[in-house]
């Protein structure tokens, strides 16, 4: 088996403000395995502040593995996911099925899958307008980034608790009743701030709040106090972490990223475990390039083809991305034939 690597860089059309700082560009490493007849592809694109290895660490690990692809895969999260993704996709190509079919053991009947739109504008009016445009375009859910840090980079909150509540309310009011609103704090609030912000908007129709604080021990109390379900993302790295969160009643939703969870097989298995514990799953990209988006899309189809997933991030990039990973009317098409696609 041959393994080759390639590097890429994709600029975002505008900075994406998060609690871990602004994201302006995505650098990644493509992994290609197989031969001229069948090729599997994976992608490693670490993000600073999100609990994974650095870009240089991922690249070094993948270079060591590519020199001996029959040896042990890397241990680092993004590098390991890239290798497993490429090998799993290669298996699907060899068997002549889609990745979703390989994972779920059955061919999906859905021909499209819903994506939520991502909104991060700090100005309430701008955020509301962007959310309204997303709903008008066909998205049935919007994820609003909250608890963003100061874009200058001093670590302080970008806006006050009162202004954050007003911003959330403005976005919710701009959305039709049938469009869900999801909040993602990336662990950027402390418990007091989370309760202060969310109490003011608890009466609104909000689907869930993701990672409200960096301490999962806070989440059950926050959920009870403000009346909102909590989703876990950064704190879900393995089955044991899922079990601990479920046992203390901390979460209702698992946000699963194949790019950091070991690839599509590990993500699918974790989603099945979550389902057995009464927790539903939302599959999400890691602001991935085209290869990573295809992996996330096909994993989402296998996990929950009727759900609304965070796999529509191709629209965040400055340059147009391939049609098969770019949402149209809020949806991505579901592949019906085995294909690794082209980056």
CATH 3.30.390.10 residue ranges for the chain: 2-96
94-116 pLDDT, tens digit each: 999 999 999 999 999 989 999 99
Q: How many residues does the chain have?
A: 343
CATH 3.20.20.120 residue ranges for the chain: 112-333
Cα–Cα distance between 100 and 83 in angstroms, integer?
17
Angle (CA) 133-139-140 rounded to 5° is 125
For the domain bounded by 2-96, which CATH number is listed? 3.30.390.10
Which pair of structure tokens corresponds to residue 126?
């701008």
Cα–Cα distance between 164 and 184 in angstroms, integer?
12
Q: CATH number for 112-333: choose from 1.10.3720.10, 1.10.10.10, 3.20.20.120, 3.30.950.10.
A: 3.20.20.120
- What's the rounded mean pLDDT across residues 317-332? 98
Question: What is the DSSP code (8-state) at residue 99?
Answer: H
Which pair of structure tokens corresponds to residue 145?
């980034």
216 closest CA partner among 204, 192, 234: 234
Which residue did the predictor score with more confidence, 152 or 157? 157
For 145: left if phi > 0, alpha if psi spans -120 to 50, otherwise beta; the answer is beta
pLDDT bin (cut points 50, 70, 90) of residue 338 is: low
238-295 pLDDT, tens digit each: 999 999 999 999 999 999 999 999 999 999 999 999 999 999 999 999 999 999 999 9
167-204 pLDDT, tens digit each: 999 999 999 999 999 999 999 999 999 999 999 999 99
Rounded to 5 degrees, φ, ψ at 87 are: -70, -40
pTM of the full structure: 0.95
């Amino acid at each position: 088996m041959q393994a080759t690597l390639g590097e890429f860089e994709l600029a975002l059309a505008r900075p994406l403000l998060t609690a871990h700082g602004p994201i302006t560009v995505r650098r990644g490493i493509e992994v290609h395995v197989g031969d001229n007849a069948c090729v599997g592809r994976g992608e490693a694109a670490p993000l600073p502040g999100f609990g994974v290895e650095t870009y240089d660490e991922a690249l070094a690990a993948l270079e060591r593995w590519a020199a001996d692809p029959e040896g042990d895969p890397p241990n680092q999260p993004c590098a390991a996911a890239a290798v497993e993704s490429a090998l799993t996709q290669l298996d699907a190509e060899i068997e002549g099925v889609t990745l979703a079919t390989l994972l779920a053991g059955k061919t999906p009947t859905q021909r499209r899958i819903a994506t939520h739109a991502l909104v991060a504008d700090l100005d309430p009016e701008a955020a509301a307008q962007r959310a309204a445009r997303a709903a008008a375009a066909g998205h049935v859910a919007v994820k609003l980034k909250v608890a963003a840090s100061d874009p200058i980079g001093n670590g302080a909150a970008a806006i006050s608790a009162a202004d954050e509540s007003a911003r959330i309310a403005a976005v919710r009011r701009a959305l039709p009743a049938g469009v869900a609103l999801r909040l993602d704090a990336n662990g950027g609030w402390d418990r007091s701030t989370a309760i202060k912000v969310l109490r003011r908007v608890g009466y609104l129709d909000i689907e869930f709040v993701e990672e409200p604080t960096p301490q999962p021990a806070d989440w059950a109390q926050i959920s009870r106090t403000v009346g909102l379900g909590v989703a876990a993302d950064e704190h879900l790295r393995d089955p044991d972490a899922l079990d601990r969160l479920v046992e203390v009643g901390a979460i209702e939703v698992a946000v699963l990223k194949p790019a950091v969870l070991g690839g599509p097989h590990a993500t699918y298995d974790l989603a099945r475990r979550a389902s057995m514990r009464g927790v539903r799953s939302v599959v999400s990209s890691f602001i991935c390039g085209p290869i990573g988006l295809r992996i996330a899309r096909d994993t989402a189809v296998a996990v929950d083809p009727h759900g609304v997933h965070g796999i529509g991030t191709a629209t965040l990039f400055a340059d147009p991305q391939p049609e098969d990973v770019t949402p149209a009317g809020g949806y991505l098409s579901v592949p019906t034939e085995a294909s690794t696609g082209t980056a």
